[in-house]
Amino acid sequence: MPDQIFAGRTVVVTGGGTGIGRATALAFAAQGATTVIICGRRKERLDQVAAEHPAVVPVAADVTEEAGAEALAHEVRERGGALDVLVHSAGVFRFTPLGALGPDLVREVLDTNLVGPLIVTRHLLPYLLAQRGNIVLVSSRAGHNPGPGQSVYAASKAGVHSLTRSWAAELAAHGVRVNAVAPGFVRTEAFEANGLTPQQVEGLFDAVTAGIPLGRVADVDDITPWITELARPTASLVTGQIVTVDGGMDTGADPAGQEG
């Protein structure tokens, strides 16, 4: 059994119904968190996660709407008004070539990935300040190393990196830390949600694996330990940091060893 370092703590995880957010919520619960409030728009997915651990509290909420953020704040107040950790994992990928980018797609990606964390953090900030809590944002390697067809997604995640550093500077005086984890490729439903068939997803992962020095696409369990680690008291002097978990893609190494 893992240590119970988060015993007595309250955690909010956006996007907690699936993927990295789901695994993160369950990891905090396994490490003793008393309450782990998760949100997403699909209530049935949230309920499935809540059925896996009694600490998990599902709240159907859209992070792009003030009402969604307020629903999270209401749940925090109902449980004592103290928030120790806020994880922003809600997000959407939309890989689209420049010529096919329409304003609706741009707004969807920026609203979800950039405006969502802003709205939710603003609503939950009083409860974080009260606890000298901390924030972990799930950004992406694309935020500092964008590839083709990713321009708006990468811009949204570059914005998340800026939020991380700016909030870290702004909130340090209040004892609130802010960090981000920037994954490379991770096996989640996000790729099917982007319109790819399971076969196309496997084809994509095969293709990108050739460019990953450590030789494999990540699973959610490669990512969540870094999120919980940044939230732990052992990280009490760590803020404004972006931890990249991408199998070494950022090293620029040529996995085939063929670069001059």
Ligand X SMILES: NC(=O)c1ccc[n+]([C@@H]2O[C@H](COP(=O)([O-])OP(=O)(O)OC[C@H]3O[C@@H](n4cnc5c(N)ncnc54)[C@H](OP(=O)(O)O)[C@@H]3O)[C@@H](O)[C@H]2O)c1
Cα 202 off chain centre by: 23
Per the listing, tokens 């909130």 go with: 171
Pick 140 or 145: Cβ nearer ligand X: 140
- Residues near ligand X (CB under 6 A) are 14-15, 17-21, 39-42, 45, 62-64, 89-93, 112, 116, 138, 140, 183, 185-186, 188-190, 193
**DSSP secondary structure of 56-110:** EEEEE--TTSHHHHHHHHHHHHHTTS---EEEE---------GGG--HHHHHHHH
Pick 91 or 133: Cβ nearer ligand X: 91
Pick 139 or 239: Cβ nearer ligand X: 139
CB of 98 to ligand X, least distance (A): 20
87-125: burial string, b at 16+ Cβ within 10 Å, e else: bbbbbbbbbbeeeeeeeeebeebbbbbbbbbbbbbebbb
Distance from C-alpha of 124 to C-alpha of 86, rounded to nearest angstrom? 8
CB of 99 to ligand X, least distance (A): 23
Per the listing, tokens 């990468």 go with: 154
CB 148 within 8 Å of CB 208? no
Query: Is 127 tagged catalytic?
Result: no
Show the tokens assigned to 233: 């008291």
CB of 178 to ligand X, least distance (A): 16
CB of 39 to ligand X, least distance (A): 6
Pick 17 or 247: Cβ nearer ligand X: 17
**127, 153, 191, 226: the active-site residue:** 153
Give catalytic residue positions: 153
